[in-house]
Structure 1
């Protein structure tokens, strides 16, 4: 299964170690609440099943599931996910590719957009950006 749950997030997208001819996704999620055993954000709870299903097919690219912290951490404007990764809503699914020699974000779905099966499939399966 191409879902990575123990991904070590680098300091920025440019620091992702990504070969030229590949694509990589990061799905930013609310952290799991110790009291409920589920992410604290209901939008993340709703998005996890379609995300897991979309990235569990045989030819799916890799995706890293990254937790952004508990609600107080997430709401802090200086949260690293907000400042370094431009993530202002959870869940956020971002697509990264190497373009002109640099790793760049080339697509994104946010919150309820992830629940739209057509949008999700299009983001995951579209061809690589022109190099």
Structure 2
């Protein structure tokens, strides 16, 4: 006669709960590090893990993903990364266009132009709000010779 099978012992959920924290090896794990996949149970264990392994805790967004595992979530992640790169390049382009550009100083009122030139002479990077912005209208700074 066969033994009755205990449903709880064969349950995959029970197996999942038995997996322990890889840092302290005492408690069942609750968290999985996106950077390296280490399983941990608490914030102190996460901190010890990051200190010990110098892990950033961030997923490598440029890693290769096989086409069989590529799904909508990976597509959204890739799209967001491309959008972030676009934002950063546009921001860099805008800041370069205004920093040290002689065209920018040409269209300033004489008081602000003198302030801008004196700051540049003192190796100070002075960033002014573009014309039309409310903070530019409020700003009354100028250089008086």
Normalised by the length of structure 1, the TM-score is 0.24
Higher strand fraction (1 or 2): 1
Q: Which of these two proteins has the greater Rg computed from alpha carbons?
A: 2
Higher helix fraction (1 or 2): 2
Normalised by the length of structure 2, the TM-score is 0.22
